[in-house]
Amino acid sequence: MPIAIEKLSPHVGARITLDPARISDPAMTEALRRAFADHGVLLFPRIGTSPDIHVALSRCFGTLQVHPVNRNQVEGFPEVVDMSYTPPRRPGDLSYHAVYRIEGRELAGWLPWHFDLSYMAEINHGSMLRALEVPPEGGRTGFMDRIRLYELLPDDLKRRIEGLDVVYRFQPDMMKRRYCRPADMALVAPSMKAGMFDGDVLDRDFPPVAHPMVYTDRDSGRKVLNVAPLFAVGIVGMDDPEGDALLGAVIDHCCTADFAYFHRWAVGDMIIWDNWRALHSAEGVAPHHPRRMQRTSLAGDYGLGRVLGKV
């Protein structure tokens, strides 16, 4: 075998060992694609910090998206996006990331469980994240396998959500989001993005969309619990307490940490995840600690989302 595969955690992912010099080998590409289909989340520990190897390894899994905003691209690598957190230089300066107080800790770059672009009708196939500078504490990324989440869902909930769709709506203000907001959460410092999205912009550029709560994975034939707690606002056709309670029960199941793997990054680590199958979250970092990360994204769409218009 051109790669070595180990289980990453009881419920999600695999750890991959390979020779970077053989990334262009067709046999390695085939083995990597099989591993991706089997596990949904792949860790490549300390494989390198170069964007060259990042792009080459990412291309083993499919066509890459070019980020539309030039200022987010890494120079010379339009497929690579900078996802770093840099502490403000002076008190009062705004960072790209908001700072929140959660359970007595101040955190920048915190994000609850989600799959990327849930608020859009089209959802890209995946992303690969690379660590360049890591904080001395915090900064972990969490992953959950939604195939495993469906398998562990109580039979009563499986029966009740079959054929239903979740409504998602982009909401940049974390304090206004309906689910996955800790009861004691408080805004300490807004991000530099605050104020960019007023109500008219949200209505025009981000109309509500719907995605099925369950769908069948085309590679494995297994069912996926297709629910992202972040940006979820309700169930189509169930705008009532019963619908709210049903979605809340499913989200409570999704947010159970017992099903999750939390990766503590080392410089040079890379992780790729299937956005059609995995949930991920960002633990956040102390506001005074930098965290340098870069990301590529796999193009594609699973074809099941739709725009709802006003609801």
Note the pLDDT of residue 292.
94
pLDDT per position as a tens digit, 161-203: 999 999 999 888 888 888 878 889 999 988 866 555 555 666 6
Q: Which two tokens stand for residue 204?
A: 């025009």
The arithmetic mean of pLDDT across residues 283-307, rounded, is 95
Note the pLDDT of residue 197.
57
Nearest to 208 by CA among 113, 139, 124, 118: 118
pLDDT tops 80 at residue 96: no
The arithmetic mean of pLDDT across residues 280-295, rounded, is 94
Note the pLDDT of residue 160.
97
The arithmetic mean of pLDDT across residues 210-222, rounded, is 93
10-19, 56-65, 71-80, 95-104: lowest mean pLDDT where? 71-80
Note the pLDDT of residue 237.
95
6-20, 66-80, 130-144: lowest mean pLDDT where? 66-80
pLDDT tops 90 at residue 100: yes
Note the pLDDT of residue 30.
95
Q: What is the mean pLDDT of the chain?
A: 90
The arithmetic mean of pLDDT across residues 75-100, rounded, is 82
Task: Give the DSSP letter string of 5-69.
Answer: EEE-SSSS-EEEEE-GGGTT-HHHHHHHHHHHHHHSEEEETT--S-HHHHHHHHHTTSPBPPPS-
| Helix, strand, coil percent values for the chain (each to nearest 5) | 20, 30, 45
Q: Is 281 helix (H, G, I), strand (E, B) or coil?
A: strand
Note the pLDDT of residue 190.
84
Note the pLDDT of residue 194.
59
| Phi–psi pair at 292, nearest 5 degrees | -105, 120
State how far the Cα of 44 lies from the Cα of 36, in Å rounded to an integer.
Answer: 12
Q: How many CB atoms lie within 10 A of CB 52?
A: 12
pLDDT tops 60 at residue 206: yes
Task: Give the DSSP letter string of 204-261.
Answer: HH---EEEESEEE-TTT--EEE---STTEEEETT--SHHHHHHHHHHHHHHT-GGG-E
Note the pLDDT of residue 195.
58
Kind of pairing, strands 14-18 and 41-44? Answer: parallel
pLDDT per position as a tens digit, 120-134: 999 999 999 999 999
Note the pLDDT of residue 68.
59
Note the pLDDT of residue 193.
63
Question: Which residue type sits at 237?
Answer: G
Note the pLDDT of residue 175.
84
What band does 38 get if pLDDT is binned at 50, 70 and 90? very high
Q: Does residue 274 contact residue 144 with C-beta atoms inside 8 Å? A: no
The arithmetic mean of pLDDT across residues 75-89, rounded, is 87
Question: 3-class secondary structure for 55-94?
Answer: HHHHHCCCCECCCCCHHHEECCEEEEEECCECCCCCCCCC
pLDDT per position as a tens digit, 134-159: 999 999 999 999 999 999 999 999 99
Note the pLDDT of residue 244.
94
Which position has the higher pLDDT, 72 or 270? 270
Q: Which two tokens stand for residue 157?
A: 């909930």
Q: How many CB atoms lie within 10 A of CB 67?
A: 18
The residue written with tokens 């994000």 in the block is 111
Note the pLDDT of residue 213.
98
What band does 93 get if pLDDT is binned at 50, 70 and 90? low
State how far the Cα of 275 lies from the Cα of 126, in Å rounded to an integer.
Answer: 4
Note the pLDDT of residue 120.
93
Give the predicted TM-score (pTM) of the model.
Answer: 0.92
Which helix (H) or strand (E) element contains residue 193? none
Note the pLDDT of residue 285.
95
